[in-house]
Structure formats: C-alpha cells, structure tokens
C-alpha cells in the first residue's frame, strides 16, 4: 500500500513539475519574444534546455522544501498529506494559467503543503516558513523592482549617445544571453522544489533518510518534467508578461531579465530560499518600465497580478486541505 502511495505521490509531483514548466515558461522568454529578440519556438527550446541544466546546479532549495516547511508523519498518512499539497498546487496553477495570471507555482506548492499539513494536524515549521518563504516573498519583488530600475538607468546613461536603432539591434543579441540566464535560474529554483517534494515522499515512505543525498533519478526526472512543460509553452501568461504590463523594447527586456536572474541566483545559492521566479521577473519589468515614466506601466494589470500573488498561498492551502479530507476518507 505504502509503495503504491509513494509512486502515486511521485507521479503527482512530476505532473506539478510539468504544470510549473508550462505555467512559468513565460518567466524566462516573454520579454525576449515580445521584443522579437527570439522567435517563440527558439525561445522555448532554449528555455527548456537551460531549465534542464539549471536543475543540476544545486540541492539547497530542494532541501529547504523537503525538510524546512512541514514535518509529516511517516507512513501512508504522511504520504496523503504530501500528495494533497501537490493537488492544491496543481489546481491553482491551472486556474491562474487559464486566466492568464502569472502567479507563483512556488508559493502554490508551499501553500498546498502547509494547507494539507494543517488539515491533518501535522507539524508546520513556521520558523522555516517565515524565514525561507514569507520574508523572501516580500523582499524578492522589491529587490527585483529596484535592481531592474538601476540596470535600466545604467543602460540609459551608458548608451545615451547611441542611436535607438543601433542600441535595439545590439540588445536583441544581448537578450539571448539574459534570457538564457533567466531560464537557468528558473531551473535552479523551480525544478529543485519538485525534487524536494519527491525526496520528502521517499523519506515519509521509508525509502530514504533525511541526511541522504538526493538520488540522481529524482534530479533527472524533475529536470525532464519541467523542461517538457516549458517547451509546451504558456502563451496566455506570456501575453500578460510580454505586452500587457508594459510594451518592452530590447534594452528594457535585457534589464528586466538580468535583474531577475541575479535575484534568483542570489536567493538559491546565498540563502537557500525558494523564491518565486514569477514575482521576480514581473517586479523587474515594472521597475524597468517605471524608469521611463510611471504611466508607462499599466498599473491596473499589475494590480490584478498582485491580487493573484496575495491569493496564491491561502487558495492553494484551501484546495490542499479539501483534497486531504477527500483522500483521507477514501483511504480509510
């Protein structure tokens, strides 16, 4: 029974990873596609490849998700808690993808795990949630906004004597590099979150110990699932990020991607914090747009996005709690 549950949770985790890929594909490539620096298919292929590579660059975020958020009991009950958390995250991903809202798959996952743990009266490590989730959730968009603005102002100053046509042409090439860096950071962050959940399921099921290294098959399968999801694309959200917040030009796209990638690497390597790539790139785009003029940013669209951010954790937690009660009842 427990082996079947472990396999079921792993399958659901990989489904979440796939939805994370197509939901968040826009994070890495929307700006490059909207500025015509890359064609959509070329951008998706590049993003998928860099996601796969980024997933192999570390385990810090995976360990935070696997051991720093909740502590479910061993056995089938704990596996139901983990599986229910994943169902909550997947459901919220699909809802926000349908409406074209760039919400956070990361926070949907955290909300789902916390919601199912609370419903089951399992241990929630609130210190870890505050330190590794809540504080980075607040700081990363602010840093992304500020860094995007600083990089954009620097570009204005450095290229102040260059003609717009020449500058745009050069930054279209530069965006290939910045988009690749963004996609690499996405793999470093988001694929590791699924690794952490799968590893948590292995621990709860008795197939691994907390101090063990993450098995290579877990790393490879998580990397492959998010890459396949990325290549499947997320066109609804891509339109929101690429056009509806601000009409980007190549220098602005480069500045936003560079700022977001910097924040992603710093959070993963320096603080082991599972931050949202969606929040980071969206806030960076807003910061870049605000340097032109405040009215250049469509703040109404930005407000809708922020509303989705605020709702993500409690909404995913609610769905996960309901899923827990349903699964617990069926397996009694």
Percent of the chain scoring above 70 in pLDDT: 88
* CA–CA dist 73, 66 (Å, integer): 13
pLDDT of 32 above 80: no
pLDDT of 300 above 70: no
pLDDT digits (tens, 9 = 90+) for 172-221: 888 888 888 988 988 888 888 899 999 999 999 888 888 888 999 999 99
CB burial class (10 A; 0-12, 13-18, 19+) of residue 212?
Answer: exposed
What is the average per-residue pLDDT within 153-173? 88
Q: Is the Cα dihedral 113, 204, 11, 4 positive or negative? A: negative
Q: Which of 14-18, 36-40, 52-56 has the lowest mean pLDDT?
A: 36-40
* CA–CA dist 109, 303 (Å, integer): 22
pLDDT of 244 above 70: no
CA distances, 122 to each of 66, 82, 86, 115, 117 (Å): 15, 11, 16, 10, 5
pLDDT of 235 above 70: no
Percent of the chain scoring above 90 in pLDDT: 25
What is the average per-residue pLDDT within 11-23? 88
pLDDT on residue 241 = 52
pLDDT digits (tens, 9 = 90+) for 98-142: 776 667 788 889 999 999 999 998 889 999 888 888 888 888 888
* Phi, psi (deg, nearest 5) at residue 124: -105, 125
Confidence category of residue 262, pLDDT binned at 50, 70, 90: very high
pLDDT on residue 236 = 57
Q: Which two tokens stand for residue 103?
A: 């919400």
pLDDT on residue 318 = 92
């Amino acid at each position: 029974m427990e082996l079947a549950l472990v396999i079921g949770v792993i399958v659901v985790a990989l489904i979440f990873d796939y939805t994370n890929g197509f939901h968040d594909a826009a994070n890495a490539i929307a700006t490059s596609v909207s500025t015509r620096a890359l064609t959509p298919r070329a951008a998706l292929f590049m993003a998928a490849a860099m996601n796969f590579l980024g997933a192999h660059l570390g385990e810090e975020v995976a360990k935070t998700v696997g051991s720093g958020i909740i502590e479910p009991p061993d056995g089938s009950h704990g596996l139901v808690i983990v599986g229910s958390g994943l169902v909550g995250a997947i459901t919220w991903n699909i809802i926000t993808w349908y409406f074209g809202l760039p919400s956070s798959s990361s926070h949907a996952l955290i909300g789902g795990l916390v919601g199912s743990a609370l419903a089951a009266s399992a241990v929630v490590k609130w210190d870890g949630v505050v330190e590794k989730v809540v504080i980075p959730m607040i700081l990363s968009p602010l840093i992304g906004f500020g860094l995007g603005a600083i990089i954009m102002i620097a570009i204005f100053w450095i290229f102040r004597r260059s003609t717009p046509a020449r500058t745009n042409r050069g930054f279209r090439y530069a965006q290939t590099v910045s988009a690749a860096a963004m996609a690499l950071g996405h793999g470093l962050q988001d694929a590791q979150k699924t690794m952490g959940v799968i590893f948590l399921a292995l621990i709860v099921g008795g197939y691994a110990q907390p101090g063990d290294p993450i098995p290579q098959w877990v790393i490879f399968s998580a990397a492959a699932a998010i890459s396949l999801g990325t290549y499947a694309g997320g066109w609804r959200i891509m339109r929101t990020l690429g056009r509806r917040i601000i009409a980007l030009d190549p220098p602005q796209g480069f500045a936003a991607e560079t700022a977001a990638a910097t924040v992603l690497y710093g959070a993963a390597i320096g603080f082991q914090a599972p931050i949202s790539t969606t929040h980071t790139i969206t806030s960076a785009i807003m910061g870049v747009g605000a340097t032109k003029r405040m009215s250049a940013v469509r703040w109404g669209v930005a407000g809708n996005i922020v509303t989705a951010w605020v709702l993500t954790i409690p909404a995913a937690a609610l769905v996960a709690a309901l899923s827990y009660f349903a699964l617990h009842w069926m397996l009694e």
